Amino acid sequence: MSSIFEYAPAPETTKPAIREQYGLFINGAWVAPQSGKYFDTVNPATEETLARVAYASPEDVDRAVRAARKAYDKYWRKMRPADRAKYIYRIARAITERSRELAVLETLDGGKPIKESRDFDVPTAAAHFFYYAGWADKLEWAMRAGREPEPLGVAGQIVPWNFPLLMAAWKVAPALACGNTVVLKPAETTPLTALALAQIIQEADLPPGVVNVVTGDGATGAALVSHDDVDKIAFTGSTEVGKAIQRSLAGTRKRLTLELGGKAAHIVFADAPMEQAIEGVVNGIYFNQGHVCCAGSRLLVQESVHDELVVRLTERLQTLRLGNPIDKNTDIGAINSRAQLDKITELVQSGIDQGAVLVQQSCTLPDRGYYFPASFFTNVQMSHRIAREEIFGPVLSILTFRTPDEALEKANNTPYGLSAGVWTDKGSKNMYIAQHLRAGVVWCNTFNQFDPSSPFGGYKESGFGREGGVHGLYEYLAH
């Protein structure tokens, strides 16, 4: 049947300036890598190469750390806090002014729908700089009485590919506000917005070396982690790498915060506002193609409404629009990389093999690019891999429970503990469940709400340390 009201293509037309080749941003200047090597960054929606990016070797990382150390001693730690604030505000304003361009860049390099980079990633990144700029000259109010705020020194910050600019903002903004200098290592597949941030920082005229950006892969990150002159490592990424970092830092003076994986329980009670719970579930797992560490990837639904929920969710899946992420009406964009697509495909196959039932949106996938349809599994048991391992894709596992305590037991029965969600129209039940969930953030009758003033971080193997809010300051202050 032909459609009487089909949405016409609505591509975002802003063209961001992308250089053919990017050097490293060290000591306030763009420099060629001593490694002499470059790598391609591609648009996962089309598989086209967007730019060539410098590969930072351990020697390059050393140069960046030395620049950061010099900037720390010479300028940043000595600067009046109110002046530091001015620089951070300047970054915030520049992000706001260039928001459209940054959003397009984020979407091209990472594959996320433009509506998300436009309405979430970029504005929230700017909000973090605004928020922490405000703290720079008020740090004593964050301290216990009698303690002076004191920066740590040089912070090595390693960010993932799922929210490249936003994760950089989460890390850079509080570090700068507290008086630290930074070496930032963006993810290999999504370096472009971090490099755009470096341009903004250059134009904002920050003293050279206060923020340095080194692009590369895991080895680049490892060189940063193991560098002797780094005082603090902040890492967001996989639990596996996080554990390796923690092991390698054991016995050193370096401070560490880790924000790692998750397998969040999303609990729907029979008395939930069902239509909105469905929207919450959809947002919880399909936002950013499920490339979200706090994704609500394990749906625990009360048995009495399981069938109804599955019918509704199946219908709702069909209205999700999968396609080129640059189209303003796209709900499900591209998977970030070939490697991630392979990982999702492998885990989904394991779900089928272990006896779970797969339901997917029916749609044609684009010929080129990495795509995976919005999916969920029913008949999932706690022992299945898809109920325990982080898929990091648009794939939901649905399990059932009978009583609130059973919901809690299943929800907490995971090595992770980053986030959780609860849906019930009964306030007291919401409070009870939230209180007993072992997760860093619990969303009640909503999901994926973020604000710079609210701390974010994990329990158990989802990591430690908090980003955002007053708590986010402590990770960058000596105590």
Partner 1 sequence: MTATVDAVMLEARAGALSKRSIKTTAKMAGIRLAIECMDLTTLEGKDSEGRVRSLCAKAVRPAPHLPDVPSVAAVCVYPNLVRVAKDALRGSGVKVASVATAFPSGLSSLEVKLADTKAAIASGADEIDMVIDRGAFLSGHYAAIADEIAAVKALCGPVHLKVILETGELGTYDNVRRASDLALDAGADVIKTSTGKVGTNATFPVAVVMCEAIRDYARRTGRRVGLKVAGGCRTTKQALTYLVIVKETLGEGWLNPDLFRIGASSLLDDLLMQYEKELTGNYAGPDYFPKD
Give the active site residues: 259, 293
Spell out the SS3 assignment of the chain. Answer: CCCCCCCCCCECCCCCCCCCEECEEECCEEECCCCCCEEEEEECCCCEEEEEEECCCHHHHHHHHHHHHHHHHHHHCCCCHHHHHHHHHHHHHHHHHCHHHHHHHHHHHHCCCHHHHHHHHHHHHHHHHHHHHHHCCCHHHHCCCCCCCCECCEEEEECCCCCHHHHHHHHHHHHHHCCCEEEEECCCCCCHHHHHHHHHHHHCCCCCCCEEECCCCHHHHHHHHHCCCCCEEEEECCHHHHHHHHHHHCCCCCEEEEECCCCCEEEECCCCCHHHHHHHHHHHHHHHHHCCCCCCCEEEEEHHHHHHHHHHHHHHHCCCCECCCCECCCCECCCCCHHHHHHHHHHHHHHHHCCCEEEECCCCCCCCCCCCCCEEEECCCCCCHHHHCCCCCCEEEEEEECCHHHHHHHHHCCCCCCEEEEECCCHHHHHHHHHHCCCCEEEECCCCCCCCCCCECCCHHHEECCECHHHHHHCCECC
Q: Nearer to partner 1 by C-beta: 383 or 428?
A: 428
Edge-to-edge, what's the strand order for the sheet holding 21-22?
21-22, 48-54, 38-43
Q: Nearer to partner 1 by C-beta: 99 or 236?
A: 99
Position among 101, 389, 406, 425 found at the interface with partner 1 (CB under 8 A) = 425
Position among 20, 146, 247, 319 found at the interface with partner 1 (CB under 8 A) = 319
Q: Nearer to partner 1 by C-beta: 378 or 430?
A: 430
- Which residues in the 183-202 window bind partner 1 by CB under 8 A? none
Taking the complex as a whole, the smallest distance from the CB of residue 447 to partner 1 amounts, in Å, to 8
Binding status of residue 362 toward partner 1 by CB under 8 A: no
Edge-to-edge, what's the strand order for the sheet holding 154-158?
29-31, 24-26, 211-213, 181-185, 154-158, 232-236, 255-259, 463-464
Q: Nearer to partner 1 by C-beta: 375 or 424?
A: 424
Q: Nearer to partner 1 by C-beta: 90 or 115?
A: 115
Interacting residues of 378 by C-beta distance below 8 A, sequence separation 6+: 310, 356, 357, 359, 398
- Which residues in the 32-61 window bind partner 1 by CB under 8 A? none
- Which residues in the 326-345 window bind partner 1 by CB under 8 A? 328-329
Taking the complex as a whole, the smallest distance from the CB of residue 44 to partner 1 amounts, in Å, to 22
Taking the complex as a whole, the smallest distance from the CB of residue 274 to partner 1 amounts, in Å, to 6
- Which residues in the 430-449 window bind partner 1 by CB under 8 A? 445-446
Q: Nearer to partner 1 by C-beta: 233 or 433?
A: 433
Distance CA 458, CA 293 (A): 10
Taking the complex as a whole, the smallest distance from the CB of residue 279 to partner 1 amounts, in Å, to 5
Taking the complex as a whole, the smallest distance from the CB of residue 416 to partner 1 amounts, in Å, to 25
- Which residues in the 226-285 window bind partner 1 by CB under 8 A? 271-277, 279-280
Taking the complex as a whole, the smallest distance from the CB of residue 459 to partner 1 amounts, in Å, to 25
Taking the complex as a whole, the smallest distance from the CB of residue 425 to partner 1 amounts, in Å, to 5
Q: 374 φ, ψ to 5°?
A: -60, 130
Q: Nearer to partner 1 by C-beta: 1 or 17?
A: 1
Exposed/middle/buried for residue 292 (C-beta within 10 Å: 0-12, 13-18, 19+): buried
Task: List C-alpha distances in Å: 179 to 78, 83, 109.
Answer: 8, 11, 31
Taking the complex as a whole, the smallest distance from the CB of residue 121 to partner 1 amounts, in Å, to 15
- Which residues in the 3-22 window bind partner 1 by CB under 8 A? 3-10
Q: Tell me how many residues contact partner 1 (CB under 8 A).
A: 25
Taking the complex as a whole, the smallest distance from the CB of residue 451 to partner 1 amounts, in Å, to 14
Q: Nearer to partner 1 by C-beta: 346 or 451?
A: 451
- Which residues in the 96-155 window bind partner 1 by CB under 8 A? 115, 119
Q: Nearer to partner 1 by C-beta: 45 or 272?
A: 272
Q: Which residues bind partner 1 (CB under 8 A)?
A: 3-10, 115, 119, 271-277, 279-280, 319, 328-329, 425, 445-446
